[in-house]
């Protein structure tokens, strides 16, 4: 959804007509002049330029959106609302909804402001930082309804935050010094939470090799997946999930004509360290051989 919104923004900001029904001819020069005025924040010139464009193009949502923003900048709020409502009707999306809600906030139409904001949730939501940073919403920041909306929009924009399954592997996040069973540090590992809390990103480095992995909970099959790649050209897919509080991930391959299961078990130790135990089985899990056994110790000064 976020990718769709970005593509939409790039499209509409160019003020290209959507199914234009022209009452006149809009030249490339007119569009360029309108865009130039908008980028320079010459709001009066932008208003004049976009008024000419939207009068000729009935379905130009992007032009109406920019005209509405320019009118907001000039504090011509009622006029801005008219064009922003039209833009939202032609092409409903959270970007237009945010601007429209600002207009209603300015004019004191709180009920309509909340109606527009609540409607944006069905369109993919608005990034919470965009909402809380907007000066037009400052009078509402202590309003329980506003705070509840920000929370709902955060969960809509960042759906991984709303599901506890996505947080099952968070105990691995941190800056680590992995040690082998002899207590010797074998390298470093930086485990980061990225992409809206959906991905746990591993950065593994030793003097002889390095690799990275993406780890995520897949809502389609209800399992954790890890994709591992390294500087030796190796690629491995693991699948699994929590077993008795431990993250257990398996990879199945064929070696010398035999099925081999490679298993990694991550255990959150009482002192906050993490054990990563690697095992292989060539008899379908009846017996296991340890391939590695690391204790992840946090780097001094990190959490």
Q: Are residues 18 and 80 in the same domain?
A: yes
Going from the C-alpha of 261 to that of each of 13, 111, 214, the distances in angstroms are 52, 59, 20
Among 114, 144, 162, give the residue marking a domain's end: 162
Q: Are residues 187 and 273 in the same domain?
A: yes
Q: Are residues 153 and 173 in the same domain?
A: no
* Global pTM value: 0.70
Q: Which tokens sit at 18?
A: 């959507």
User: Is residue 130 domain-resident?
Assistant: yes
How far apart, in whole angstroms, are the C-alpha atoms of residue 240 and residue 263?
9
Residue written as token pair 């398996």: 250
The closest of 215, 191, 185 to 203, measured between CA atoms, is: 191
CB neighbours of residue 167 within 10 Å:
15
CB 239 within 8 A of CB 249: yes
- Which residues lie below 8 Å from residue 91, measured CB to CB, with a gap of 6+? 8, 12, 18, 61, 62
For helices 110-120 and 144-157, give the axis angle rounded to 10 degrees. Answer: 20
User: Is residue 87 domain-resident?
Assistant: yes
- Domain CATH number, residue 271: 2.40.128.20
Q: Are residues 70 and 209 in the same domain?
A: no
Q: Are residues 215 and 292 in the same domain?
A: yes
Q: Are residues 154 and 6 in the same domain?
A: yes
User: Is residue 68 domain-resident?
Assistant: yes
Q: Give SS3 for 41.
A: coil
CB 247 within 8 A of CB 172: yes
- Domain CATH number, residue 32: 1.25.40.10
Q: Are residues 132 and 84 in the same domain?
A: yes
Radius of gyration, CA atoms only, the chain: 27
Q: Are residues 211 and 283 in the same domain?
A: yes
CA 240 from chain centre, in angstroms, equals 24
Which H or E run contains 236? strand 235-243
CB 185 within 8 A of CB 221: no
Residue written as token pair 């360290």: 273
Among 115, 131, 162, give the residue marking a domain's end: 162
The per-residue DSSP string of 19-40 comes to S--BSS---HHHHHHHHHHHHT
The per-residue DSSP string of 79-101 comes to HHHHHHHHHHHHS--HHHHHHHH
Per-residue pLDDT of the chain (303 residues; tens, 9 = 90+): 445 444 444 444 444 444 434 447 999 999 999 999 999 999 999 999 999 999 999 999 999 999 999 999 999 999 999 999 999 999 999 999 999 999 999 999 999 999 999 999 999 999 999 999 999 999 999 999 999 999 999 999 998 987 899 999 999 999 999 999 999 999 999 999 999 899 999 999 999 999 999 999 999 999 999 999 999 999 999 999 999 999 999 999 998 889 999 999 999 999 999 999 999 999 999 999 999 999 999 999 887
pLDDT at 301: 86
The domain in which residue 275 lies consists of 165-298
User: Is residue 153 domain-resident?
Assistant: yes
How far apart, in whole angstroms, are the C-alpha atoms of residue 147 and residue 126?
13
How far apart, in whole angstroms, are the C-alpha atoms of residue 178 and residue 292?
11
How far apart, in whole angstroms, are the C-alpha atoms of residue 28 and residue 214?
45
Q: Are residues 123 and 173 in the same domain?
A: no
Among 162, 177, 193, give the residue marking a domain's end: 162
Q: Total structural domains in the chain? A: 2
Q: Are residues 98 and 6 in the same domain?
A: yes
Q: Are residues 148 and 38 in the same domain?
A: yes
User: Is residue 251 domain-resident?
Assistant: yes
**DSSP code, position 148:** H
How far apart, in whole angstroms, are the C-alpha atoms of residue 179 and residue 64?
60
User: Is residue 102 domain-resident?
Assistant: yes
User: Is residue 75 domain-resident?
Assistant: yes
Phi, psi of 38 (to 5 degrees): -65, -45
Q: Are residues 174 and 287 in the same domain?
A: yes
pLDDT at 3: 52
Residue written as token pair 């399954």: 165
Going from the C-alpha of 111 to that of each of 61, 101, 103, 146, the distances in angstroms are 24, 10, 12, 11
How far apart, in whole angstroms, are the C-alpha atoms of residue 276 and residue 187?
14
pLDDT at 8: 46
User: Is residue 303 domain-resident?
Assistant: no
């Amino acid at each position: 959804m976020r990718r769709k919104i970005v593509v939409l923004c790039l499209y509409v900001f160019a003020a290209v007509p959507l199914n234009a029904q022209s009452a006149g001819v809009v030249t490339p020069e007119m569009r360029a002049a309108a865009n130039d005025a908008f980028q320079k924040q010459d709001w009066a010139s932008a208003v004049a330029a976009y008024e000419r464009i939207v009068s000729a193009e009935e379905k130009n949502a992007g032009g109406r959106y920019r005209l509405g923003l320019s009118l907001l900048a000039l504090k011509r709020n009622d006029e801005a609302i008219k064009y922003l409502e039209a833009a939202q009707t032609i092409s409903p999306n959270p970007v237009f909804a945010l601007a429209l809600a600002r207009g209603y906030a300015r004019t004191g139409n709180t009920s309509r402001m909340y109606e527009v904001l609540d409607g944006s949730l069905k369109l993919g939501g608005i990034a919470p930082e965009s909402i809380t940073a907007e000066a037009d919403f400052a009078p509402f920041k202590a309003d329980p309804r506003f705070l509840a909306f920000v929370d709902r929009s955060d969960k809509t924009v960042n759906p991984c935050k709303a599901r506890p399954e996505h947080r099952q592997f968070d105990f691995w996040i941190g800056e680590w010094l992995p040690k082998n069973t002899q207590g010797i540090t074998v390298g470093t590992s930086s485990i980061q939470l990225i992409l809206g809390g959906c991905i746990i990103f591993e950065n593994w480095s030793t003097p002889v090799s390095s690799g990275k992995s993406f780890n995520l909970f897949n809502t389609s099959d209800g399992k954790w997946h890890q994709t591992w790649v390294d500087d030796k050209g190796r690629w491995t897919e693991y699948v699994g999930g929590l077993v008795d509080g431990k993250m257990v991930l398996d990879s199945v391959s064929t070696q010398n004509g035999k099925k081999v299961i490679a298993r990694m078990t991550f255990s959150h130790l009482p002192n906050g360290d993490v054990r990563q135990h690697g095992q292989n089985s060539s008899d379908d899990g009846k017996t296991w051989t340890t391939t590695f056994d690391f204790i992840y110790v946090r780097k001094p000064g990190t959490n």
